[in-house]
Amino acid sequence: MLLGTAAIVYAADQLTKALVVANIDVGQRIDVIGDLVQLWHAENSGAAFSLLQNGQLLFVVVSLFALALITYFFRALHGRSLGIFVLLGLVLGGTLGNFTDRVRHAQVTDFVSVGIGELRWPTFNVADSSIVIGILAFVVLLTLFDGHDRSGERSGASPERGA
């Protein structure tokens, strides 16, 4: 599940970015749902919200750290719900998508813009969405629905019977 989901996210990310680069000039905006949702070709050499512009080495290190964390969680959560591995696949595919762009182009292509007029959420792409959704859902799933109580024991387990 993890690798299949990651492959789908990676392919969708790279395909959509290639289509944007081939068909929309940098800076060009195309209304999709009026002014609310636009395709807006932007090149981002920074992190989320265009922070830390030109910090390529830092982003490579962070991406490698993220890949190590995904590997850790994959091993540590072996035997758990398939949903957990789908969510890890979202994060893996998104991480690899943006990592590929940073290595090949020293920047990431962003193209989804949501907002009204000049009041807009920072432009993002499929990889960014997959990473954010995957991490948030992963945390919620493990925090609220994983079936462990605070002592680390499975909830619903029968208590030991005394003599």
**Dist CA 87 CA 2 (whole Å):** 8
pLDDT digits (tens, 9 = 90+) for 82-125: 888 999 999 999 999 999 998 898 889 999 999 998 899 989 99
pLDDT digits (tens, 9 = 90+) for 30-45: 999 999 999 999 998 7
This prediction has a pTM of 0.81
8 Å CB contact between 109 and 41:
yes
8 Å CB contact between 111 and 16:
yes
Catalytic residue numbers, as ranges: 110, 128
**Dist CA 73 CA 62 (whole Å):** 16
| Between 11 and 149, the higher pLDDT residue | 11
What residues contact 141, with CB distance under 8 A and at least 6 apart? 81, 83, 84, 87
Judged on CB neighbours under 10 Å (0-12, 13-18, 19+), 80 is: middle
